[in-house]
Amino acid sequence: MVNGMPRVTAQSQPAGSGCAASVKRQDYDANGNVAWSEDFKGYRTCFAHDLSRNLETDRVEGLAASTACGSLLAAGAALPGNARRTSTQWHPVWHLETKLAEPRRLTTKVYNGQ
């Protein structure tokens, strides 16, 4: 439970033809935002949020399941070899992206009335 609301923290997948059983997990911060998630293959994704608006500001994907998120989400932090960072800036009033920085790509959006 986060803020009195139930949240899914784990989901299991049974073994199938040629596949072992696996579990995907996620954990939440005090505001109910996803702090990190692990997929069925065991890769971790770490998230940072603007806590005043509960909007995702940074995401680091492709991490080993044992990786701690805290130091990787700091500005200018070095990432492990296969990891990738995506950073998002938001419109000051609306819940709309204004800049999205991905590996080898920067997308800028301008909205009417801006």
Q: What is the pLDDT of residues 24-34, one digit of tens each?
A: 899 999 899 99
| In a domain? residue 90 | yes
Whether residue 1 is contained in a domain is answered as no
Assigned domain for 43 exists = yes
Task: Please check whether residue 27 lies inside any domain of the structure.
Answer: yes
**Segments forming the whole domain that contains residue 92:** 10-108
For residue 114, being part of any structural domain is answered with no
Domain membership flag for residue 3? no
The pLDDT value recorded for residue 2 is 66
Amino acid at the residue 42: G
CA nearest 93: which of 73, 113, 64? 113
Number of structural domains (the chain) is: 1
Query: Residue 99 domain-assigned?
Result: yes
12-59 tens-digit pLDDT: 888 887 778 888 899 999 899 999 999 989 999 999 999 999 999 999
pTM to 2 decimals?
A: 0.86
Q: What is the 3-state secondary structure (H, E, C) of 34-90?
A: EEEEECCCCEEEEEEEECCCCEEEEEEEEEECCCCCHHHHCCCCCCCCCCEEEEEEE
Q: Does any domain span residue 85?
A: yes
